[in-house]
Amino acid sequence: MADTKPKTSPKAIKFLFGGLAGMGATVFVQPLDLVKNRMQLAGQGSKAREYKTSFHCLVSILKSEGVSGVYTGLPPLERRGYTNVFNALARITREEGVTTMWRGCVPTMARALVVNAAQLASYSQSKQALLDSGYFGDDILCHFCASMISGLVTTAASMPVDIVKTRIQNMKMIDGKPEYKNGLDVLVRVVGREGFFSLWKGFTPYYARLGPHTVLTFIFLEQMNRLYKTYVLDR
């Protein structure tokens, strides 16, 4: 009699759980991402030097906008009043043109390349080093520590590209012309106006977001898979 194959989750369920795990992790790290974006945009125009540190930025947001403010987007005067994602898509297409949807595409691709290359390599090496030390087992603690080490490397490598992406995606039209010509123009102007180390502005919240987001995503994913296996597949 042929062996019975073990039951596995359908691809649709895996897709659903993957999305839910990412959403669950984002709920916890969104405030850090917001602080990072506010810091990266703070050097523009009247917003220059508005925030001294990431902690100062977070406190300022809480004081002026309340707890719910850490789950919003830009400073109120900079917002474009989108009611939801579909309204945003429709208005961007109508008011700025379809090609605007891909504004910042090149620096976004460059950021993805740097992030994935740095993150995957450093995580693998960090995890192996921790296991080889004899102080860690292949468990959540090891994964968390490896993720935080990986996050440090990835943050340092990717932040200059990330600030280019953020500035280009949020740039305005001045006298009918884009604020920036390209990514290189962003880098030159940011370094010239705000200093070399401004390329790592928002480092703390970015770093604090990257590691925990990875860990939380996998924790949520594993728990959903375990519950699905217990209450659906094994019934």
d(CA 111, CA 119): 12
Instruction: Kindly state the percentage of the chain with pLDDT values over 70.
Output: 92
- SS3 label, residue 178: strand
* pLDDT at residue 131, rounded to an integer: 92
Which of 132, 112, 134 has its CA nearest to residue 124?
132
Sort residue 4 into left (φ over 0), alpha (ψ -120 to 50) or beta: beta
Q: Please write the tens of the pLDDT for every residue from 27-86.
A: 888 888 888 888 877 765 544 457 778 888 888 888 888 888 888 766 766 667 788 889
| Residues 42-80 as b or e (16 or more Cβ within 10 Å = b) | bbbeeeeebbeebeebbebbeeeeeeebbeeeebeeeee
What sign for the dihedral angle of Cα 172, 176, 182, 186? negative
Phi, psi of 39 (to 5 degrees): -65, -40
Residue-wise pLDDT tens digits, 106-135: 888 888 888 888 888 888 899 899 999 989
DSSP states of 88-114: HHHHHHHHH-GGGGGTTHHHHHHHHHH
Domains of the chain, start order = 103-233 (1.50.40.10)
Start-end of H helices in 42-139: 54-65, 85-96, 105-133
The C-alpha atoms of residue 109 and residue 125 are separated, in whole angstroms, by 24
Token reading at 55:
């902690």
Please indicate, yes or no, whether the overall pTM of this predicted structure exceeds 0.95.
Answer: no
Q: In the prediction, which pLDDT does 47 show? A: 47
Residue in the structure block whose two tokens are 């109508």: 94
Q: DSSP string of 187-216? A: HHHHHHHH-GGGGGTTHHHHHHHHHHHHHH
